[in-house]
Chain A
Amino acid sequence: MSNIPDEVPAIGTHNLTKIYPGFWNAAKVTALSSLNLSVRRGEIFGLLGPNGSGKTTTIKLLLGLISATGGTAEVLGKPVGDQQTRRYLGYLPEETYLYRFLNARQTLDFYARIFNFNRVQRSRAVDHYLDFVGLDPAVRNRPLRTYSKGQARRVGLAQALLNDPDLVILDEPTSGLDPIGTLEMKELILQLKRAGKTVLLSSHQLADVEDVCDRVCILYRGVKEVEGTVDELLEVKDVFKLEARNVPESVQQQMVALVQQAGGDEIRTGRQRSRLEDLFKRLVAAKRSDESAAALSAAAPGAPGGR
């Protein structure tokens, strides 16, 4: 853990600007314009926006991968690019940019060496995080070029968490993941929050952001359009909502009538629908539970094929 006081924001930017210079016939592109941002310690902060809005540019500026045209930025209380500060950062790029000739273990071992882990620490961390991201042990010694996109993504996530970072920057973390993987990723982000980590999340998947983020910022063409907590931003103040189970039809009608009498309009009633995500989650969970039970019974003494 870094020794940075809690009151110091995890990320702070002041008029951060990035303009890509034009060359020959190419015009200048303003990727980010005077961004002022403050991400508090321990929160999950969502960075939203359409393609080309400046999300990834912001992240690269914060990591020191590119240099700002104007303004300043601080990460964990230090100017961006500080080598020692990066010790406490984890970064998952939008695509999995890893060495294709290394296998999962070698990949994590490489990054663990950069963090100056000793042999024992490396060995423990590699196994722990590969288990943590749920990478199939059977593929761990195969080169990454043979991995599916989801498998590679898991290795990418493992490298981002390898150093137990204080600040985790996740750029499109659910990109390339199946729904279960997406759910697991969201759960993992919440776990990070529970562990006191700060998460900066950039995503197109608005539902994902809504589910996990404490605060969000929406960028459009490099300009911050809005920033605040999810509840603040999504609250519709003049709409009343009531949910209840086992209410008789007649009472429902009475309640509608009551609302009409009170002057309420645009009244909508109907049955509650669960989300497709919830349905998928329930089905897969049930299926996995069955598979586990079958496997346990097959391995039990006396069972056919068992010992």
Chain B
Amino acid sequence: MFWLLAQQAPDAAPLSRGYDITAWVLIGIALLAFALTAWRDVFHIFFRAKDLGTGLSRIWAVARTAIFEAWSARIWIVPLLWLVAILVINALVVPYDEATDTVALKAAVCLYGQSFMVLVVMLVLACFSIARERERRTIITTGAKPLSRLEFFLGKIVGFSAISLALLLFMGVVTYGYLLVVERNVRTTAAEKYRIEEEHFQKSQRGMAGGGGEAVNPPSQALKNIADSGVLVARNLIAPAEFQIAGLIQHNPDGTTVRSLRGGASSSERMILRFPTFYSHGSLFPTYHFIFPAYTLRNGPNPGDPPVFAPLRPGTKISIRIVISPTTGTGQERTVDHTLEMFETAEVPGLYYAQYTPEIPQLYIPDDHPELQLPIQVQVSCLTSGVYLGVWECANADNSNVIIDQFAPDIGTHGYIPLKPPQIVGFEKYDKQQVAGPSDGYEPRSGRFNDGEVASFRFSAQDMKRVPRDKDQNAVLSMYLDVDKTSNYNLQTLVDVDVYNQLGRPPTRVSNVAVNEKILTEVTLPMKDVSDTSDTFVDIRCAIPGHWVAVVRDSVRFELSSTPFLINLVKSELVIFFSAVLLITVAVVASVRVNGWVAILVTATAYFLGNGISQIQYLLTSGADSLLAPGEARQYQSQLVFKALGFLQVLAIKAVYVICLLLPDFRLFDSTTDILQYRNMPWLELGRDMLWMGLFAIPPIAVGYLMIRKQELA
């Protein structure tokens, strides 16, 4: 189970399994020791002992005392401080768009404030509780009662968790009331703005009808929507599982996908491949080989048919641009940006080839730091108009469009190292996910195929079963697109929407859908021929030359009926609560053996490490030039002191990383993202967070029990 969770954790890095194995072994030892020593205490929690009842009542007794303790520490001041803080902060924060962003922003501030206050206060209370029991020796009186140490320990966790829940409940109610007031103001303002815009527009229309006046835009429907429906919403979106952009994308019935890079200056595509670590030490003098099938596209036999592949004219010259970033993160500036000419191979017509050998070594890894993992990233784009380069799936090292010959003279006589296949990272242009329109001269109604780019969104079959359809099997697709124009400024941006799946039927197309910048566009898709038994694809093409539409993964989605905002707020509060419970657990464990201040230090460190595992991963995988300085430090390599220091540094980072793996991953508890996007947090996500909370809490509880089990209380 833990292993499964680790696989789902965000930003999983391609690190050695050794770290995971070490962490799991340590956790396993702790859990085994816990199981062997605590089984009787665990049994007594759930099963009635003679004259004693179950341990649950005793746990609750300790929890009640923890609540009284918090109350006597004037815990009720916390919500008041929070209220003052959020009122001040919200008064200072200015949203980018008052109509749409105000409520989300203020809600996020309220939630951040709650999270901060609750975590800090619980940190202090939980860290000092057991420590104070030891100092004041109340633990002696309590320890003489029929209360197991596990029950005592869990009682503290339950008590402080109950306090944090009560605090969050109170602050949540206040937050909701506050947001109702804010939303009312937003709606009033939007209604007033709409009224003014409408008056202005009507006046302009009357003026133009009279032969004069100036044209103005019609009043914003967005304002009217806000005024009518408000912005306290929690939308339920069915977002695509993935999407990609290419010149042409074909999803075959066998599940494979054929992608093509479109050539030419107007193309936004570049293929990005990342070669994982394959090289252990010394210098690397690689040769890069580029192999692409190249073709062009022609109209299908009938208007509206999909395009067909056609061979290039003999002698066509193809230029590609390559950008190679070999040692990211180490400060070794060896990035190559180069243009290559490809030529057609004699053996296989239509297959084009080029090779490149940089003049300088691409990579240097010190002998004593073989653990460094320095991926090489290669980007390829085609510069020749009208040419499409076929992209191969990188099933193995030989079936890749880019291959590296790794000649490394340092490591032996032959100097060649076995290859590992690269991984295609994506198709994008300068981090903007833009879909370019067709070539100049394209006319949407011409019957010619749209040779622009396509963004292909894949919706999983499981999700598609939840998409409502009307009696004619139509479903409503929502698109929230950004629009950009480099020519044809006066034309409305239009997109073509194709929907299909892999069952072989031709796509159903909805043509010439008008889209506007940051306005939600709804398209009714005829889904009669699109079964929900397999993944469904929605392709978006821009139909106007010189126009672009920018997309992110959930720009295109199906919207279900919205959930009341209050429920979404409660879910966010629960996510904060889950993270608070985990922090309390760690704090109580930390305070078992040390005094309150040391426990705070330990818990805060655990919290930051639990949030910063990505940074530690980065140190391990990138080499951390400031720590290891592989390039500059070569001259000192033979010195024993340098070697010893380097060894200790690496050892420390590795140890910290293993510790991170042992700690709860606090990054998983995200309480604000959905609220900020007015999106409903799925129950599944909430359940997953709850599961994580439960599972992450078990190892610290086991460790805490082992520490307190034989502790001398007096």
Q: Which residues of A contact B (CB under 8 A)?
A: 60, 63-67, 83-87, 89, 91, 93, 95, 97-102, 106, 110-111, 113-116, 143, 156, 159
Contacts and interface: CB of A to CB of B under 8 A. Distances in A.
A113 B61 contact: yes
B138 interface: yes
Given A84-B50, A113-B58, A65 B143 contact: yes
A114 B140 CA distance: 15
Interface stretch (B144-152, B196-204, B447-455, B481-489): B144-152
B140 A93 contact: yes
Contact of B140 (A65, A110, A113, A115): A65
Given A84-B52, A85-B146, A97-B139, 20 more contacts: A60-B140, A60-B714, A65-B713, A66-B713, A83-B44, A87-B51, A87-B52, A97-B141, A99-B65, A99-B69, A101-B69, A101-B71, A106-B68, A113-B60, A113-B61, A114-B58, A115-B146, A116-B51, A116-B52, A143-B72
Interface in B113-143: 136-143
Given A65-B712, A97-B136, A114 B44 contact: no
Contacts of B44: 83
Nearest to B136: A97
Given A60-B714, A67-B712, A86-B146, A102 B65 contact: yes
B145 A115 contact: yes
A102 B143 contact: no
Contacts of A86: 144-147
A199 to B, nearest CB: 15
Contact of A95 (B50, B53, B71, B137): B137
Interface of B: 41, 44, 49-53, 57-58, 60-61, 64-65, 68-69, 71-72, 136-148, 710, 712-714
Contacts of A111: 145
Contacts of A116: 51-53, 57-58
Given A83-B146, A93-B137, A99 B53 contact: no
Nearest to B41: A83
A64 B141 CA distance: 12
Contact of A101 (B58, B72, B137, B140): B72
A95 B137 CA distance: 9
A259 B524 CA distance: 128
A5 to B, nearest CB: 16
B68 A99 contact: yes
Contacts of A114: 58, 61, 142, 145-147
Contacts of A106: 68
Given A91-B141, A100-B136, A114-B61, A84 B714 contact: no
Given A114-B61, A116-B57, A87 B146 contact: yes
A100 B65 CA distance: 11
A304 to B, nearest CB: 45
Contact of B144 (A63, A98, A101, A143): A63
Given A110-B61, A143-B72, A91 B144 contact: yes
A256 B393 CA distance: 124
Nearest to B70: A101
6 contacts: A64-B143, A84-B146, A97-B138, A114-B58, A114-B61, A143-B72
Contacts, number: 91
Contacts of A60: 140, 714
A63 B148 CA distance: 13
Nearest to B73: A101
B51 A84 contact: yes
Contacts of B148: 83
Contacts of B139: 97
A101 to B, nearest CB: 4
Contacts of A97: 136-141
A113 B57 contact: yes
Contacts of B144: 63-65, 86, 89, 91, 93
In the A-B complex, the 8 residue pairs with the closest CB atoms:
A116-B53, A113-B61, A101-B72, A86-B146, A91-B144, A97-B137, A66-B712, A65-B714
A66 B714 contact: yes
A62 to B, nearest CB: 10
Contact of A63 (B60, B64, B137, B143): B143
A113 B64 contact: yes
A83 B151 CA distance: 11
Contacts of A85: 146
A98 B141 contact: yes
A113 B148 CA distance: 14
Contacts of B136: 97, 100
B74 to A, nearest CB: 11
Contacts of B52: 83-84, 87, 115-116
A64 to B, nearest CB: 8
A100 B60 CA distance: 19
Contacts of B68: 99, 101-102, 106
A67 B61 contact: no
Residue with the greatest number of chain A CB neighbours at <10 A, chosen from B44, B64, B72, B146: B146
Contacts of A115: 52, 145-146
Contacts of B138: 97-99
Contacts of B57: 113, 116
Contacts of B49: 83-84
B508 to A, nearest CB: 67
B700 to A, nearest CB: 23
Contacts of B140: 60, 65, 93, 97
Nearest to A143: B72
A73 to B, nearest CB: 14
A161 to B, nearest CB: 13
Nearest to A85: B146
Contacts of A100: 136
A67 B711 CA distance: 8
Contact of B141 (A84, A101, A159): A159
Contacts of B143: 63-65
Residue with the greatest number of chain B CB neighbours at <10 A, chosen from A84, A85, A156: A84
A91 B140 CA distance: 10
